[in-house]
Amino acid sequence: MTAKYISVLGVIALTACGPQPGVEQPTQSSADEVITLGAIETSTSGACFAKTAGPTETVVIEELLEVAPAVKDRNGVVVSPAVFRNVSRPATNTVGDGERFETVCPPALTPAFVATLQRAMITRRAYSGAVNGQYDTATGLAVQRFQREQGIDSPYLAVSTARQLGVLAVERDSL
């Protein structure tokens, strides 16, 4: 009886930690990308933080690729050898951690808030999608493009950007 009660509490606790209903996370479409972008952390004071994408470096990789396999006769004797080519291609690698910044917490990303954000970005010609109140991929990418000017390369909405756009109240100390 006690084990059932504890397992039910565990399920309730796990579902409470999951994504908020009606709030779509700013990802490209898969859980792997959320890990790449960095998860949102919450401090004990209730503030949320995310990380920007880390610095990258691009290197040229040279590979020897087989473009045609060897041809063998019935006895297994090579009639025509394999053909290989040297191929060079760029590869981009992340070489460090991104910078941490304060972001708007997911529960605050209500449909009304996101619609206001979308309208504010349309006014500044930073977003051309639909005002649907969903923090979808198009909204996240528009936020990321807009924030790059401030040095924040992330689809998560920074508190400073939300204040700049006028969708989040400015702190009294800064008035």
pTM for this one? 0.57
Q: Are residues 77 and 141 in the same domain?
A: no
Please give the pLDDT value at position 143.
94
Please give the pLDDT value at position 54.
78
Tens digit of each residue's pLDDT (9 = 90 or more) over 66-81: 999 999 999 999 999 9
Query: What is the count of structural domains for the chain?
Result: 2
| pLDDT under 70: residue ranges of the chain | 1-38, 172-175
* Residue 10 falls inside a structural domain: no
Show the domain range for 143.
Answer: 19-54+98-174
In this structure, are residues 119 and 130 in contact, taking their beta carbons and an 8 Å threshold?
no
Q: Are residues 154 and 170 in the same domain?
A: yes
